[in-house]
């Protein structure tokens, strides 16, 4: 591919470099500098690393880190976003100061639903629920809803996969009074190049699992290149799992999917069992991505209830507190009603049901 000459620009003057015939060098026709391809690649990698570091520093410069002394939540927010109240336990949080480390995301899924839409969804999903505490649906509680970006590791991988296994075919027939069953076993082998895209894993080790499972997935096509503008007005949950910690889990998922995909190409048997599998990951690409979630929590002395909405798809997850006083009162009324019915007969039914419709 001799055309690759045009892809290199002179590091000194940005002129297009050309191969110098009879040498292994590229030369600049404008400033007469000469470079080998290895030198140029080294410079390019160096430049890229410098740019990444610069972006990282700039991100850290404009971000603040907060820790909640009450519940331990760790959140980040840009310097213009008020983040003085913990979005989980609603107590004041303390700023820990500027950020350090490589926490700048590569990509972000922007919020598509605003807080108004999230509040409406919340009210809608709670509308037919009985026995909720009075303040659960109150405007003051709804105001505590917060848009939070959750950290995810997202992997793409190019793989060579193969499975070895046994497939069985069963044939039965009757001859006279005898029933025959013939089981034939076949050795099967399948091999393929499989590309996996957008395998997302939360970069969090704690107990958000049920909530996240309730509102996933985020569609694969909605990742945007990260820019600070997306963070305005939202806080970010600080990640506590590095890429290394989720790599094995992602590999296990790839193995499982590979088995399934290759197995699905085997037709015409009663049963297929995979005995051996080989997956070679030729190339993988990882992104650190922030995903948008609306969170509204309700805290009682015993536990926290979380309502969550996927900020991109609108899918919701909700835990509901029960007001035991209301429940006991209703149970009491029903108890009394049953007692009265037993004493006075049916005409009271309508009256009592009307009265008990809390
Ligand atoms: Zn030049
Ligand atoms: Zn807190």
Report pLDDT digits (tens) over 22-41: 898 999 999 999 999 999 99
* Ligand lying nearest the CA atom of residue 9: 1
* Ligand lying nearest the CA atom of residue 33: 1
Half-sphere exposure in the Cβ direction for 71 (13 Å, CA) = 17
* Ligand lying nearest the CA atom of residue 93: 2
Virtual torsion, Cα 183, 184, 185, 188, nearest 10 deg:
-130
Burial of 246 by CB count in 10 Å (0-12 exposed, 13-18 middle, 19+ buried)? buried
How much is the mean pLDDT over the chain?
Answer: 87
14 Cα: distance to centroid of ligand 1 (angstroms) = 6
**Percent of the residues in the chain that have a pLDDT greater than 70, as a whole number:** 90
* Ligand lying nearest the CA atom of residue 14: 1
Virtual torsion, Cα 226, 231, 237, 240, nearest 10 deg:
30
Per-residue pLDDT, 97: 77
Asked if residue 17 lies in contact with residue 5, where contact means CB atoms within 8 angstroms, the answer is yes
Spatial separation of the C-alpha atoms in residues 316 and 310, rounded to whole Å: 6
Spatial separation of the C-alpha atoms in residues 273 and 121, rounded to whole Å: 45
Spatial separation of the C-alpha atoms in residues 276 and 191, rounded to whole Å: 12
55 Cα: distance to centroid of ligand 1 (angstroms) = 27
- State how far the alpha carbon of 172 is from the alpha carbons of 169, 179, 180, 199, 332, in Å: 10, 7, 5, 44, 63
**Percent of the residues in the chain that have a pLDDT greater than 90, as a whole number:** 65
**Confidence bin at 133 (pLDDT 50/70/90):** confident
Mean pLDDT of 195-207: 88
* Ligand lying nearest the CA atom of residue 84: 2
Per-residue pLDDT, 337: 65
* Ligand lying nearest the CA atom of residue 11: 1
240 Cα: distance to centroid of ligand 2 (angstroms) = 16
Per-residue pLDDT, 219: 86
Question: For residue 274, what are the β-bridge partners?
Answer: 165
74 Cα: distance to centroid of ligand 2 (angstroms) = 8
* Ligand lying nearest the CA atom of residue 146: 2
Strands (E), the chain: 18-19, 25-27, 34-36, 63-67, 74-78, 94-98, 107-108, 146-175, 178-202, 224-225, 235-237, 271-299, 304-310, 316-318
9 Cα: distance to centroid of ligand 1 (angstroms) = 8
Q: pLDDT higher for 207 or 131? A: 131
Asked if residue 167 lies in contact with residue 272, where contact means CB atoms within 8 angstroms, the answer is yes
* Ligand lying nearest the CA atom of residue 27: 1
Query: Tens digit of pLDDT for each residue in 98-124?
Result: 788 889 999 999 999 999 999 999 999
**3-class SS letters over 127-158:** CCCCCCCHHHCCHHHHCCCEEEEEEEEEEEEE
Quickly tell me which residue has 């610069």 as its tokens.
54
Examine the pLDDT at 344 and tell me if it is beyond 70. Answer: no
319 Cα: distance to centroid of ligand 2 (angstroms) = 18
10 Cα: distance to centroid of ligand 1 (angstroms) = 5
* Weakest-pLDDT range from 45-59, 63-77, 229-243, 338-352: 338-352
**3-class SS letters over 65-94:** EEECCCCCCEEEEECCCCCCECCCCCCECE
End-to-end CA distance of the chain: 78
15 Cα: distance to centroid of ligand 1 (angstroms) = 5
Nearest alpha-carbon partner for 41 in 8, 12, 6? 8
How far from the centroid of its chain's Cα atoms is residue 248's Cα? 17
92 Cα: distance to centroid of ligand 2 (angstroms) = 8
23 Cα: distance to centroid of ligand 1 (angstroms) = 18
Spatial separation of the C-alpha atoms in residues 18 and 106, rounded to whole Å: 34
**Confidence bin at 246 (pLDDT 50/70/90):** very high
Helix, strand or coil, per DSSP, at residue 341: helix
38 Cα: distance to centroid of ligand 1 (angstroms) = 17
Compute φ and ψ for 309, nearest 5 degrees: -135, 130
- State how far the alpha carbon of 171 is from the alpha carbons of 33, 179, 269, 270, 349, in Å: 77, 11, 11, 10, 64
Per-residue pLDDT, 129: 78
């Amino acid at each position: 591919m001799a055309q690759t000459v045009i892809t290199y620009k002179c590091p000194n003057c940005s002129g297009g470099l050309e191969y110098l015939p009879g040498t292994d060098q590229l030369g600049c026709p404008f400033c007469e500098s000469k470079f080998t391809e290895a030198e140029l690649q080294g410079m390019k990698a160096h430049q890229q690393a410098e740019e990444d570091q610069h972006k990282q520093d700039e991100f850290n410069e404009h971000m603040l880190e907060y820790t909640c002394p009450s519940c331990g939540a760790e959140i980040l927010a840009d310097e213009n976003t008020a983040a003085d109240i913990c979005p989980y336990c609603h107590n004041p949080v303390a700023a820990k100061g500027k950020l350090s480390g490589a926490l700048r995301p590569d990509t972000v899924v922007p919020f598509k639903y605003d807080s108004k839409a999230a509040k409406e969804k919340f009210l809608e999903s709670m509308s037919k629920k009985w026995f909720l505490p009075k303040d659960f649906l109150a405007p003051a509680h709804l105001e505590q809803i917060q848009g939070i970006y959750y950290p995810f590791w997202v992997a793409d991988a190019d793989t060579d996969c193969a499975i070895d296994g046994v497939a069985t075919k069963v044939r039965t027939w009757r001859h006279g009074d005898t029933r025959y069953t013939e089981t034939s076993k076949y050795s099967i082998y399948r091999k393929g190049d499989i590309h996996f895209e957008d395998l997302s894993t939360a970069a969090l080790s704690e107990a958000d699992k049920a909530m996240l499972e309730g509102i996933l997935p985020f569609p694969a096509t909605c990742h945007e290149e990260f820019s600070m503008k997306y963070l305005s007005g939202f806080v970010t949950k600080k990640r506590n799992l590095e890429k290394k910690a989720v790599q094995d889990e992602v590999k296990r998922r790839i193995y499982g999917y590979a088995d399934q995909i290759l197995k699905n190409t085997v037709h015409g048997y009663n049963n297929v069992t995979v005995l051996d599998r080989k997956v070679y990951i030729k190339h993988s690409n990882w992104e650190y991505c922030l995903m948008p979630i609306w969170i509204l929590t309700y805290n009682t002395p015993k536990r926290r209830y979380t309502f969550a909405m996927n900020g991109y798809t609108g899918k919701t997850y909700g835990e509901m507190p029960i007001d035991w006083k209301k429940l006991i009162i209703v149970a009491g009324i029903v108890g009394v009603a049953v007692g009265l019915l037993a004493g006075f007969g049916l005409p009271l039914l309508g009256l009592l049901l009307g009265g008990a419709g809390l």
